[in-house]
């Protein structure tokens, strides 16, 4: 039996204000996670509306009925508005076809890791505990990070860590990873990689971020092809919206935010609603420290 979700949705008030859900409207939550945002949207679109949840993480989809059941206990009409598919958000067109829809009134993408994923000891997202170095959202496809590190050359590993993690010491880390591989002791677990990176990266004074954070971020992005998927989705997103429909994207690091900003600017079908990204309130970050780096951008389809 799966554990109940522990994820707290980020910037919920700002998301609702930006997407403007109302009875009868239809939305896609492209990163369903623990269902927090979807539940909030469903409560606003009932009766008669629809919230389509998408998630490429089969674990999140397996738990989705629990989120729907929990919502039904408080708001049965809202629970009837929710449906969930196991798919990446860049495959939203398939969900629209399955629901016989040409478009929706809003699309939400929360690009951060969920607390449920961080708490899963078998996935390797939280390097504070020893676990297999996997880092895949969808463990039924693709290759785990440990296999990626066995396959790539030293230069390729350094490029991944530098480009996706913006890590200045990427070459030093890559060299040590390949040395371990040549010694027939390849990196297989989160603890092994975290300790290796900590020995390669000096810890900054008065800085509470673990030196391994950027490397793990880079490998997770590479393993899941996150930036390419985001770029593809944003290139198609306006076509998934009805005229007047809005897209809201919550990003957590500069690489994602840069892609969102440029995609909104360059799409002639979208009007930017947030010239500068919205940030979580101090009250929210005190209650949910994982929200502290969140940035929310919103745009509206004009025609």
- Residues 158 and 177: their CA atoms lie apart, in Å, by 10
Q: Which residue has the higher pLDDT, 60 or 165?
A: 165
| pLDDT above 70: residue 146 | yes
Confidence of residue 48 (pLDDT cuts 50, 70, 90): very high
Looking at per-residue pLDDT, the higher value among 207 and 204 belongs to: 204
pLDDT at residue 3, as a whole number: 39
Nearest-angstrom CA–CA distance, 211 and 203 = 6
Report, as an integer, the average pLDDT of 30-43: 92
Is 1 a residue whose pLDDT tops 60? Answer: no
Q: Give CA angle at 114 (109, 117), nearest 5°.
A: 130
Residue 291 has pLDDT above 80, yes or no: yes
Range with the lowest mean pLDDT among 65-79, 151-165, 203-217, 245-259?
203-217
| Predicted local confidence at residue 137, as pLDDT | 87
| pLDDT for the residue numbered 206 | 58
Q: What is the pLDDT of residue 210?
A: 87
> Quick one: pLDDT band at residue 285, thresholds 50, 70, 90?
very high
**Would you state the pLDDT for residue 66?**
85
Percent of the chain with pLDDT over 70: 93
Average pLDDT over residues 98-123: 81
Least-confidence region, from 69-73, 160-164, 186-190, 196-200 = 69-73
Indicate if the pLDDT at residue 248 is higher than 70. yes
* Mean pLDDT over each residue of the chain, to the nearest integer: 91
Model pTM? Answer: 0.90
The yes-or-no verdict on residue 118 having pLDDT over 90 is: no
pLDDT of res. 22? 97
Q: pLDDT tens for residues 157-185?
A: 999 999 999 999 999 999 999 999 999 99
By percentage, how much of the chain surpasses pLDDT 90? 76
Asked if 29 and 41 touch (Cβ cutoff 8 Å), the reply is yes
Nearest to 117 by CA among 100, 134, 137: 137
Neighbouring residues of 172: CB distance < 8 A, sequence distance ≥ 6 = 200, 201
């Amino acid at each position: 039996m799966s554990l109940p979700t522990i994820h707290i949705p980020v910037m919920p008030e700002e998301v609702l204000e930006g997407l403007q859900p109302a009875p009868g409207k239809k939305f896609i939550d492209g990163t369903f996670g623990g269902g927090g945002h979807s539940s909030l949207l469903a409560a606003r679109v009932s009766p008669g509306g629809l919230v389509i949840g998408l998630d490429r993480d089969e674990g999140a989809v397996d738990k989705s009925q629990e989120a729907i059941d929990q919502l039904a206990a408080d708001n049965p009409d809202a629970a009837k508005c929710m449906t969930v598919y196991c798919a990446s958000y860049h495959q939203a067109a398939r969900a629209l076809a399955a629901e016989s829809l040409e478009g929706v009134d809003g699309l939400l993408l929360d690009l951060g890791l969920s607390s449920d994923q961080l708490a899963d000891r078998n996935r390797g997202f939280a390097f504070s505990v020893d676990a297999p170095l996997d880092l895949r959202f969808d463990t039924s496809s693709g290759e785990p990070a440990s296999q990626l590190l066995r396959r790539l050359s030293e230069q390729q590993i350094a490029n991944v860590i530098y480009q996706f993690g913006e890590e200045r010491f990427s070459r030093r880390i890559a060299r040590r990873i390949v040395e371990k591989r040549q010694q027939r002791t390849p990196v297989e677990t989160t603890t092994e990689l975290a300790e290796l990176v900590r020995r390669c990266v000096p810890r900054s004074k008065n800085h509470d971020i673990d030196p391994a954070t950027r490397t793990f971020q880079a490998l997770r992005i590479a393993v899941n092809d996150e930036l390419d998927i985001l770029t593809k989705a944003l290139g198609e997103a306006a076509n998934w919206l009805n005229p007047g429909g809005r897209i809201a994207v919550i990003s957590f690091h500069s690489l994602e935010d840069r892609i969102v900003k440029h995609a909104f600017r360059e799409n002639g079908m979208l009007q930017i609603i947030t010239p500068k990204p919205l940030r979580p309130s101090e009250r929210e970050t005190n209650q949910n420290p994982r929200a502290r780096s969140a940035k929310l951008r919103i745009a509206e389809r004009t025609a």
